Amino acid sequence: MERKSYPTDLTDMEWEILATLIPPAKEGGHPPTTDMGEICNAIYYHLKAGCQWNMLPGDFPPRSTVYSYYSKWQGQGVWEKFNHTLGGQVRSKLGKSTQPTALAADSQSVKTDQKKGMCMVLTDVKR
């Protein structure tokens, strides 16, 4: 039986990019039996819907398995890799450098020992 499709599901192109960033299974361990694409789809559903883990639809892999991967990947920095990779690709398509070249900050978010009210604002500079 085929799983119901959700608006948060990864497209084939998105999965092709993300699949290469997922850490391989440990050597010598039991080979994974769960589809990593389905794990990602379940995690994205959870994040977008804002539901509790135990409220994931039943056609996703078991919630304990999904949460286990989510937690493990969080500790390994996998989410940061996803964001940096996808962000870089978006910037590249916009004709920008894959890495931002500047940053914007205000006095509300940056502590300083300078005079009160002084702030530094930088803008993204296209090279």
| Residue-level pLDDT at 6 | 95
DSSP, residue by residue, 38-100: HHHHHHHHHHHHT--GGGS-TTSSPHHHHHHHHHHHHHHTHHHHHHHHHHHHHHHHTTS-SS-
Q: How many Cβ atoms sit within 10 Å of the Cβ of residue 42? A: 27
pTM value > 0.95: no
Task: Look at residue 62 in the predicted model and tell me its pLDDT.
Answer: 95
pLDDT of residue 56: 95
Give pLDDT, residue 23. Answer: 87
Identity of residue 19: A
CA dihedral (6, 33, 17, 48) positive or negative: positive
Per-residue model confidence (pLDDT) at position 48: 93
pLDDT per 10-residue tile (average), the chain, 127 residues:
87 88 84 90 94 94 95 91 81 78 68 56 50
